[in-house]
Amino acid sequence: MVYLDHAATTPMLPAAVDAMTSQFQRVGNASSLHAAGRAARRVVEESRETLAQALGARPSEVVFTAGGTEADNLAVKGLYWARRAEDPRRRRVVVSRVEHHAVLDVVTWLVEHEGAEVSWLEVDAHGRVAPETLRAALTDGPGGSQDVALVTVMWANNEVGTVQPVAELAAVAQAYGVPMHSDAVQAIGQLPVDFAASGLDAMTVTGHKFGGPLGVGALLLGRSLAVTPLLHGGGQEREVRSGTLDTPGIAGFAAAAEVAVKSQPERAEHLAMLRDDLVQRVKVVVPDVLLNGDPDLSPARRLPGNAHFSFPGCEGDSLLLLLDARGIECSTGSACSAGVARPSHVLLATGADEERARGSLRFSFGHTSRPADVDAVVEALPAAVERARRAGLTSARQG
């Protein structure tokens, strides 16, 4: 099997499996007062420290959640509600056009149900937000930045891999006194990520994108920042996120973060080598292929494990089916719950037309990827593209 969908989820690291399995055999609620509870609490707090250290945060800034989507919801809804409660004028959310749905749909929901307004940050042809664009959004409105509840721009794009100038954007937001959140789930383990140095106020991370377990993540949240909770209950996690702490999950999450961050430089180099090789060879075997995202493949500009192509005349769906039949697993980008691929909002935001968006395919490398994976893709791709093109023509002819 050639698994090239690590941006969706990546295999667990052995350290994470070990950390979790040892916890599965123990009992203890981290909120209990007895010895078993204390033991669980110790594991949770050590994990919190490990994670904080790996990500350049303070332990008190870590709010564990059940994954990236929850952390994004907590950041965007929680900051919006809290900031609006402090000053009812703050109803505007400033957000990039290329966010993951876990941010995008939250913003849309706030607009539809909570009276929010949205300022979309346009991106360039590579999917990048310019700091001047953010500055304009914070100054051009009638209320200047007074009516802004928060800014949210992802660290690196899950589809096309474009890395945002997060620190520069955060500096702009800070200059106007507006808190900024960033979804960094794709960045950890592939890029150096330091929460304190970034200047961000809130940042989303999740375990399963870098070798931790599914279903556990965290929102890194500046200590001075108030957010309105989504989940009410036992008051865990600074009363921001109630719910019994998932000790095994958290232990695995932290163990994976430690390994992923420590090995990040070598891993990035390894992923970039495979990715560069793929990009180069795909261009040879499918000469009219289009590379989406930033053509500058340096890690400051693009995730080292990301390759995202459009194959003119093909439906991404068709290519996926054909490659899947050959044992090659990749992705067409974000799928809706019915499994129907819609043209990617990210590609459309970069100015791509619908045909280019529909004919796109993402290959994402991870820690288990090998050079043979690239060989397999390069070998299978030309025939698949030819077939998919024929199938694409049949629908074009009748459509």
Partner 1 sequence: MRVLAAMSGGVDSAVAAARAVDAGHDVTGVHLALAPDPKSFRTGARGCCTLEDARDAGRAADVIGIPFYVWDLAERFRTDVVEDFVAEYAAGRTPNPCLRCNERIKFAAVLDRALALGFDAVCTGHYARLVDGPAGRELRRAVDQGKDQSYVLGVLDGRQLAHALFPLGDTLKADVRAEATCRGLAVAAKPDSHDVCFIPDGDTAGFLARRLGSAPGEVVDADGAVVGAHDGAYGFTVGQRRGLRLSQPAPDGRPRYVLGVEPVRRQVTVGPAEALDVREVVAVRPRWTGHPLPGPRRCLAQVRAHGEAVPATASPAGEGVHVDLDVPLRGVATGQAVVLYEGDRVIGSATVSATVSVTVSASR
Catalytic residues: 336
Q: Which of 1, 35, 340, 372 binds partner 1 (CB under 8 A)?
A: 340
Answer for the pair 316, 357: CB distance below 8 angstroms, yes or no.
Answer: no
Residue nearer to partner 1 on the CB measure, 272 or 385: 385
Q: Is 58 in the site for partner 1 (CB under 8 A)?
A: no
Q: How far is the CB of 385 from partner 1 (least distance, A)?
A: 12
Query: For the packed helices 247-262 and 35-55, what is the interaxial angle rounded to 10 degrees?
Result: 30
| Token pair for 346 | 């990210």
Q: Is 112 in the site for partner 1 (CB under 8 A)?
A: no
Q: Which of 150, 341, 346, 385 binds partner 1 (CB under 8 A)?
A: 341
Q: Is 348 in the site for partner 1 (CB under 8 A)?
A: no
* DSSP class of 331: B
Q: How far is the CB of 334 from partner 1 (least distance, A)?
A: 14
Q: Is 354 in the site for partner 1 (CB under 8 A)?
A: no
In angstroms, the CA 193 to CA 297 distance is 18
Measured on CA atoms in the order 37, 213, 219, 341, is the torsion positive or negative? negative
Residue nearer to partner 1 on the CB measure, 73 or 318: 318
By DSSP bridging, strand 217-221 and strand 62-65 are antiparallel
Q: Is 379 in the site for partner 1 (CB under 8 A)?
A: no
Q: Is 393 in the site for partner 1 (CB under 8 A)?
A: yes
Residue nearer to partner 1 on the CB measure, 2 or 322: 322
Answer for the pair 156, 164: CB distance below 8 angstroms, yes or no.
Answer: yes
Residue nearer to partner 1 on the CB measure, 86 or 324: 324
Answer for the pair 245, 1: CB distance below 8 angstroms, yes or no.
Answer: no
Q: Is 8 in the site for partner 1 (CB under 8 A)?
A: no
Residue nearer to partner 1 on the CB measure, 25 or 398: 398
Cβ contacts of 370 within 8 Å, gap of 6 or more: 274
In this structure, the number of other CB atoms found within 10 A of the CB of residue 187 comes to: 24
Q: Is 1 in the site for partner 1 (CB under 8 A)?
A: no
- Residue count at the site for partner 1 (CB under 8 A)? 21
Contacting partner 1 within 297-336 (CB under 8 A):
317-318, 320-322, 324-325
Answer for the pair 333, 159: CB distance below 8 angstroms, yes or no.
Answer: yes
Q: How far is the CB of 1 from partner 1 (least distance, A)?
A: 13
Cβ contacts of 214 within 8 Å, gap of 6 or more: 9, 67, 207, 208
Q: Tell me which residues touch partner 1 (CB under 8 A).
A: 317-318, 320-322, 324-325, 337-341, 387-388, 390-391, 393-395, 398-399
